């Protein structure tokens, strides 16, 4: 069974540009989560989508947005890129949203570099 996949693996942009990151969850998983992993800061929660709806949002500005498609894949959009947006962006999927015992399965991430 395929795991969570993310594309692209690496993305290089310049300040002010727009970035789109994509994620395909494990088959059967309806929830998708996005995290930012900046150097030395651990994982910071960005967004949670389930059944096409945004369920929760972390403490990030509105230029971070996303959506979930009918096939449960998701994309993360970052507008007006800033240097501090450079980070590894991780996507995770899960089977049982709303359950604290819910295991999240992570993809390998997209490394975004803003120059």
Q: CA 111 → CA 13, 59, 70, 86, distances in Å?
A: 11, 20, 26, 8
Is 84 a binder of other proteins (CB under 8 A)? no
Is 97 a binder of other proteins (CB under 8 A)? yes
Contact 5, 105 (CB under 8 A): no
Shortest separation between residue 106's beta carbon and other proteins, angstroms: 3
Shortest separation between residue 115's beta carbon and other proteins, angstroms: 21
Toward other proteins, which CB reaches closer, 8 or 16? 8
The residue among 64, 66, 39 whose CA lies nearest residue 55 is 66
Site for other proteins, residues 19 to 38, rule: CB under 8 A: 33, 35
């Amino acid at each position: 069974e395929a795991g969570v996949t993310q594309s692209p693996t690496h993305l290089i942009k310049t300040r002010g540009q727009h970035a789109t990151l994509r994620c395909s969850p494990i088959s059967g998983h309806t929830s998708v989560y996005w995290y930012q992993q900046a150097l030395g800061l651990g994982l910071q929660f960005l967004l949670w989508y389930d059944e096409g709806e945004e369920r929760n949002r972390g403490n990030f500005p509105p230029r971070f947005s996303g959506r979930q498609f009918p096939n449960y894949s998701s994309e993360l959009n970052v507008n007006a890129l800033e240097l501090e947006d450079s980070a590894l962006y991780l996507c995770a999927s899960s089977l049982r949203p709303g359950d604290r015992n819910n295991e999240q399965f992570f993809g390998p991430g997209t490394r975004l570099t803003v120059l």
